Amino acid sequence: MSTFPTERTAIITGAVSERGIGRATASYLAAQGWNIGIIDLDDALCKAAAKELAAEHGVKAFGAGANVSDEGSVRAAIDAIEAELPQIVALANVAGVSSPVPYLELDAAEWDRVLNINLNGVHYTTRRVAESMVKNRIGRIVNISSVSAQRGGGTFSKTPYSVAKAGVIGLTRATARELGEYDITVNAISPGPIDTDIMGGTLSEERKDELTKDLVVNRVGSTRDIAAAIAFLISEDAGYISGQTLNVDGGLYMH
């Protein structure tokens, strides 16, 4: 059983938005003593978020701006994070975009935009981080999929989003298989309805009630619910779990 180094870093993509899963995850992990690398579109906002986390939790944090759908920019950001922080042990691929466009109104540009960010972005980030993890022979990768992948939509976002998030599950399983020999685990989390802006803005109480009707618990999810699941899957104790998709969805999809 491989053990973690005392000083370890988790990289989180899409971690700037105050109400997002990425930001909640960065705070949750920093509170557990992880050093934090932040990747998001705006470099200045990444650096500000990192500074805030470091001050609040007494950890090291560094932010680097990158567009996850551009491999060169992702590699440069991770190079910069690696130069500033302790060993990269974990990666949470959270960055993503929604897409409520109906299929019959979908054009090629929207399809490419959603697939490039939500699927290619996960691949580019994973590919670069895996190089470092393989060298050190330890790593935990968690990708954010969606219940939309398993149900074929039925959420705010439609077809290209469902396709990309289904691709994330395939990527998770294939990389888990190939990276396992290096003591790297790769898992996905499939959130159900979570109160974030990706649902089309802040959820009204009425919309929350409507969404809760489909669940077996009596509330929609919070970003903290997902952050806690990510924290578990990247923990030292979760080394025997790999290639799995954990549904954190209030019982919306049982399989």
β-pairing, 184-191 vs 139-144, is parallel
Query: Nearest-CA neighbor of 142 among 40, 244, 61, 67?
Result: 244
Tokens of 31: 């509170």
Residues catalogued as catalytic: 161
Provide the Cα torsion 181, 82, 118, 90; round to 10°. Answer: 50
Give the span between the Cα atoms of 172 and 86, in whole angstroms: 25
Give the span between the Cα atoms of 230 and 90, in whole angstroms: 10
What counts of helices (H) and strands (E) characterise the chain?
A: 9, 7
Provide the Cα torsion 103, 108, 109, 112; round to 10°. Answer: 90
Give the span between the Cα atoms of 191 and 252, in whole angstroms: 10
